[in-house]
Amino acid sequence: MNHDSSLVNRLTDRLIAGELRPGERLSETALAKEFDVSRNTLREAFRVLGEQGLVTHIPHRGVSVASPSTADVVDIYRVRHHVECSVLEHAPRNHPNAVRMEAAVEAAERFAAEENWLEVGTANMAFHNAVVSLSDSRRLMQSFSNVLAELRLAFLKVEVLDFLHAPFISRNKEVIEVYRTEGSAAAAKILGAYLGDSERQVLGAYARAGQD
C-alpha cells in the first residue's frame, strides 16, 4: 500500500495484525531494538503513524497504540457515513473499480469459510476502500483508508472480530447488487443503513466489554 519507508509499513502491519494491541505503550528503545533501527528513525515513523491516527502521542509520555473510545467510534462512523455514502451516491453507473468491490467480497467469503476472521476483516476493509475508490480521488482514499485502519483497532480492542464481521458479508453483496441493478442512489441508501447497523454493533460490543 505505502511504498515508502519500509519501517512505517512494518509497523502498520503489526498494528493491523493486532500484534501491537490497542492502548499498548510503545517504548522507543525497545521498539528501536526490535525493528533494528535507531531511536531517531523510529521517531520519524511514529510521527507519520500519529498523523494517520494509528498511534497516540502524548508529549513526554511517549506513544501508544491508538485505543479508540466510543466517542472515537462514533466519530469514525460519522466520517464513514459522509464519505462512503456520498461517494457511492455520486458514483458513475459502471465504474471500473466495482470489480474491486466484488473481489473483496469474494475474498471475505473465502476467509469466512476458514473462520479466519482477521483476514475477513481485512477483506471487509478492502471492500469499503473499494467503495471510496469510486470517487477517483487519491486524497479521499488516503484519508479514508487511515480512518478505516483506526476502526480496525477498535475491533481489536473489543476482540470480537467474528461477531462483528460475519453478518456483514452478505450486506456487502447486497450493496454491489443494488448498485449494479438500481444504481448509485439506491445503493447509497442501503449502505447508509448498513453503516448504521454496523455502528450499533460495535458500540454494543464496547458496552458489553465495559470499555469507554
The reply on whether position 50 binds a second copy by CB under 8 A is yes
Q: Which of 57, 81, 171, 189 binds DNA (CB under 7 A)?
A: 57
What does 11-36 look like in DSSP terms, one character per residue? HHHHHHTTSS-TT-EE-HHHHHHHHT
CB of 106 to a second copy, least distance (A): 27
Q: What is the DSSP letter of 137?
A: -
Which of 74, 77, 98 is closest to 88 using CA atoms?
98
CB of 192 to a second copy, least distance (A): 10
The reply on whether position 85 binds a second copy by CB under 8 A is yes
CB of 37 to DNA, least distance (A): 4
Query: What's the gap between Cα 37 and its chain centre?
Result: 27
Cell 455520486 locates to 90
Which segment (29-37, 73-81, 140-148, 171-179) binds DNA by CB under 7 A?
29-37
The helix/strand/coil state of 114 is coil
The reply on whether position 82 binds a second copy by CB under 8 A is yes
Q: Of a second copy, DNA, none, which one does residue 29 interact with (CB within 5 to 8 Å by kind)?
A: DNA
Q: Which of 75, 102, 162, 199 binds a second copy (CB under 8 A)?
A: 75
Cα(108)–Cα(92) distance, rounded to whole angstroms? 25
CB of 24 to DNA, least distance (A): 11
Cα(192)–Cα(93) distance, rounded to whole angstroms? 18
The helix/strand/coil state of 63 is strand
Which of 210, 167, 193 is closest to 70 using CA atoms?
210
Residues near a second copy, by CB under 8 A:
4, 40, 43-45, 47-48, 50-53, 57, 59, 75-76, 78-79, 81-83, 85-87, 90, 135-140, 143, 147
Residues near DNA, by CB under 7 A:
5, 25-29, 36-41, 43-44, 57, 59-63
